[in-house]
Amino acid sequence: MSDDVIEIHPEARAAIARILASGEPPMETLAPAEARRLADARVAANGVPAPEMAEVRNFNVPGPAGNIPVRLYRPTARTNAPFVIFFHGGGFMLAGLHTHDSLCRFIAERAGAALLAVDYRLAPENKFPAAPEDCLAATRWALANPAALGVEPGRFALIGESSGGNLTAVVAQALAKDGGPQPKLQVMIYPGLDMSTDHPSYKRLGEGFFFTEKKARYFIDHYLARPEDADDPRASPVRATDLEGVAPAMIITAGLDPLVDEAEIYADKLRAAGVAVTYRCFEGWPHGFLFWGHTEASKQALAMAADGLRDALAG
């Protein structure tokens, strides 16, 4: 749809124009290795503040298919701190600890919490359900080993952006069924919650705004082992039928994002199940704007997410 029908924020318009003028090939035309190189280059200078930490430590935790790399951020030397578990985005096939380092540092410092970032297995080498299995295994390990992290047992939250928002929802649903410690908050930033491109927002916003319907299908097709996996709530958490007891949620969306409808549907389903939900849509902005750290929308969304985590963990 043309942008004279849909309102685009001037900063977003300029950022989209720079990307389109860069001559980069459409990601959905690339092999996974090339797509990863392109994504890494794009986020290398994202403008998100990267404060110094008292400790940054890489190590492994046990997972269902071997060790899972994780990175622990501690903004201060404080022990017995609350903690946040972070799942990165990238369509389940891109990015990792290296691409989201500045984001993790910012969140840890502003939230006043330790942060554990999970480097889950990526598609297409590792198809669904590898990613949610790794994220859940790492979360359960963290809950069982607070002394190893120097954190307060049971006082934790979850956060993820894009596909990481999907994984946040999946882990929160699993923890609710576990019946053990629950997150004080789950934060999902423009999450992809349905392995379908049938929502009306795909028809309105599926081309011209950086994240397209073709790109979404590219990620979905690389992620799922078979089409029927889309019905599994671990792939499409919006399709879960029992959301009772799921952690309070903050959902941040983008008004130009084809994923916006499924996020709003999930917010409504959570509320119907009695879950407290904070919902904010950044109108006039596309998917991925969090990494445009020079823009006011990025600054506001990052602050909203980190402050929400801080307040929930303090409570």
Which one of 162, 163, 201, 298 is the catalytic residue? 162
287 counts as catalytic: yes
Tokens of 113: 């919490």
Say if strands 151-161 and 114-118 run parallel, antiparallel, or are unpaired: unpaired
| Those residues with Cβ within 8 angstroms of residue 258's Cβ, 6 or more apart along the chain or in another chain | 197, 199, 201, 202, 204, 205, 206, 211, 212, 213, 216, 287
**φ and ψ at 270, to 5 degrees?**
-65, -45
Ramachandran region of residue 157, left (φ > 0), alpha (ψ -120 to 50) or beta? beta
Q: What share of the chain is helix, strand, coil (3-state, %, to 5)?
A: 40, 20, 40
Whether 86 contacts 32, CB under 8 Å = no
* Gap between the Cα atoms of 166 and 305, Å rounded: 16
* Gap between the Cα atoms of 26 and 182, Å rounded: 40
22 counts as catalytic: no
* Gap between the Cα atoms of 287 and 114, Å rounded: 27
Which one of 134, 194, 257, 261 is the catalytic residue? 257
201 counts as catalytic: no
Whether 191 contacts 91, CB under 8 Å = no
Which one of 9, 88, 222, 287 is the catalytic residue? 287
Catalytic residues: 162, 257, 287
